[in-house]
Amino acid sequence: MHIFVPRETDSSEPRAAATPDSVKRLCRTGAVVSIESGLGSHCHWSDAQYAKAGAEIAESRAAGFEKADIVLRVRKPEEESIGQMRKGAVHASFLDPFTQRDLIEKLAEAGITAISLELVPRTTLAQKLDALSSQHSVCGYYMVVLAAERLGKVIPMMSTPSGVIQPAHVLVIGAGVAGLQAIATARRLGARIEAFDTRPVVKEQVESLGAKFVEIDLGETGQTEGGYAKELTEEQKKKQREGLKHAISRADIVITTAKLFGRPAPKVVTRDMIEVMKPGSLIIDYAVDSGGNVEGSRPDEEVVIDGVRVLGFSNFPGKVAIDASRMYANNLAALVEMMIDPESKELRLDFDDEIIRGCVVTHDGQVVNETVKKAYAEA
Ligand code: NAD
């Protein structure tokens, strides 16, 4: 069994799909692990550290792909590497299958078993493999630290002989994994926090972290079977915008993390809402890479609207690449441990297992994932 971990070719991607520690874990499955030279360079992990952990350094990228039974990486494969992989090999990475139909069909045609980390079920059993959660967690932290650095104002209350500083107000819209981590981080910094989410179950979690939940009566919102938010009706969207206006007018920092599974992100902050904000305040749009939560936000740019700065990055996890890589590499190691039979040390994909069934997109020349097939049929 050969596992190959190539370098990421996208110049905006500093993360690595394996760390020296995860290599040790991968080797314990009985597999031969090889990496492309320079894999961990952006995270300060040298080839020598990977070699010490048990990895071989592949002669070349092409040689690594040709030998591999399993390829692990962060981003989707480029066409050249699909051509270099063996029929029947497994490729595990983020794939964005709902917007990457051509790529998915190419992977199927090439006979690759493609695993999309976005499709790992969000269940307790699958937590160790849940790369969306691991990346959202580090980003939730990062967004608050970024905002604190940019704000030009301190976050906690300070009583000094020179005057009393009032705590900064933070509003978090979307309290999933990233939003909850942002709340926890802002709380540790001493901010006064309000938060809102369309899933009512979140209220208790928000309050348990010491934030105030903004109550807006949207009527029935519910959630999908997978625990994701459903898209709001036009009427509900209007009510939400109205309901948030008061909280947003008080906020020094707004962090938006609202996402809809497999769909463009909802616009939760519109121009008229920005207009009620204080000049100098800051909005961090975590959804900027999937359409944006904020009207006017642009990836990797600071846009100033009526004196309010709107910021968002196309690769938030890349801003904290070391820990994002560590966590992602652990997610992949847990996935590999599930796929390699401990006795025979051979690849064993158990399609009766809901995790495997959930995240395998292509197999045996076909698109096999039910959610993806349904989305393609409806397109
Ligand atoms: P996500 O990134 O898809 O969305 C982020 C948040 O935005 C969600 O909480 C969602 O409800 C919210 N949202 C969507 N539209 C909104 C709108 N118009 N206004 C305000 N908020 C809006 O979510 P996620 O963080 O990836 O979590 C997805 C689900 O998976 C959640 O239910 C989460 O609890 C669940 N989960 C479960 C486990 C587990 O182990 N059981 C682990 C991780 C996540």
Beta strands per DSSP E along 127-243: 158-160, 163-165, 169-173, 192-196, 212-213
pLDDT attached to residue 330: 98
Looking at the structure, give the CATH architecture of the domain made up of residues 2-129+321-366.
3-Layer(aba) Sandwich (3.40)
Q: Which of 46, 49, 127, 290 is an active site residue? A: 127
290 is catalytic: no
What is residue 90's predicted lDDT score, i.e. its pLDDT?
Answer: 98
Place of tokens 């809402």: 273
Q: What is the pLDDT of residue 225?
A: 77
Q: What is the pLDDT of residue 228?
A: 86
Specify the pLDDT at position 247: 92
Of 122, 187, 309, 357, the active-site residue reads 122
Is residue 122 part of the annotated active site? The answer reads yes
Walk along the chain (379 residues) and give the pLDDT tens digit of each residue.
999 999 999 999 999 999 999 999 999 999 999 999 999 999 999 999 999 999 999 999 999 999 999 999 999 999 999 999 999 999 999 999 999 999 999 999 999 999 999 999 999 999 999 999 999 999 999 999 999 999 999 999 999 999 999 999 999 999 999 999 999 999 999 999 999 999 988 999 999 999 999 999 888 887 787 788 888 999 999 999 999 999 999 999 999 999 998 889 999 999 999 999 999 999 999 999 999 999 999 999 999 999 999 999 999 999 999 999 999 999 999 999 999 999 999 999 999 999 999 999 999 999 999 999 999 999 8
Which ligand 1 atom lies nearest to the CA of residue 232?
18
pLDDT of residue 190: 98
130 is catalytic: yes
Tell me the whole-structure pTM to 2 decimals. Answer: 0.96
Tokens encoding 57: 């350094």
pLDDT number for residue 203? 95
Q: Ligand 1 pocket test: which of 133, 205, 285, 327 has the largest number of ligand atoms within 8 Å of its C-beta? A: 133
Q: Distance (Å, rounded) from C-alpha 144 to C-alpha 150? A: 10
Q: Whose CA is nearest to atom 38 of ligand 1?
A: 122
Which residue has its alpha carbon closest to ligand 1 atom 13? 258
Cα 154 to averaged position of ligand 1 atoms, centre (Å): 29
Which ranges in the chain are annotated with CATH 3.40.50.720?
Answer: 2-129+321-366, 138-319
- Find tokens 């066409």 and name the residue: 79
Which residues does 301 contact at the CB level (< 8 Å), separation at least 6?
311
132 close to 117: Cβ distance less than 8 angstroms? yes
Measured in Å, residue 229 CA sits from the centre of ligand 1 at 6
First to last CA, the chain: 38
Write the CB contacts of 185 (distance below 8 Å, at least 6 apart in sequence): 140, 141, 144, 145
Q: Which pLDDT belongs to residue 54?
A: 98
Binding pocket residue ranges, ligand 1, CB within 6 Å: 122-124, 127, 130, 132-133, 136, 173-179, 196-199, 202, 227-229, 232, 257-261, 266, 268
Residue whose pair of structure tokens reads 């938006």 in the numeric block: 256
State the virtual CA torsion across 132, 135, 137, 143 in degrees, nearest 10: -120
Which of 149, 139, 259, 251 has its CA nearest to residue 198? 259
Q: Which atom of ligand 1 is nearest to the CA of 259?
A: 4
Which CA distances in Å does 171 have to 196, 240, 277? 8, 14, 12
CA of 139 to the centre of ligand 1 (A): 14
CATH of 138-319, one of 3.40.50.720, 3.90.230.10, 2.60.120.10, 3.90.1300.10: 3.40.50.720
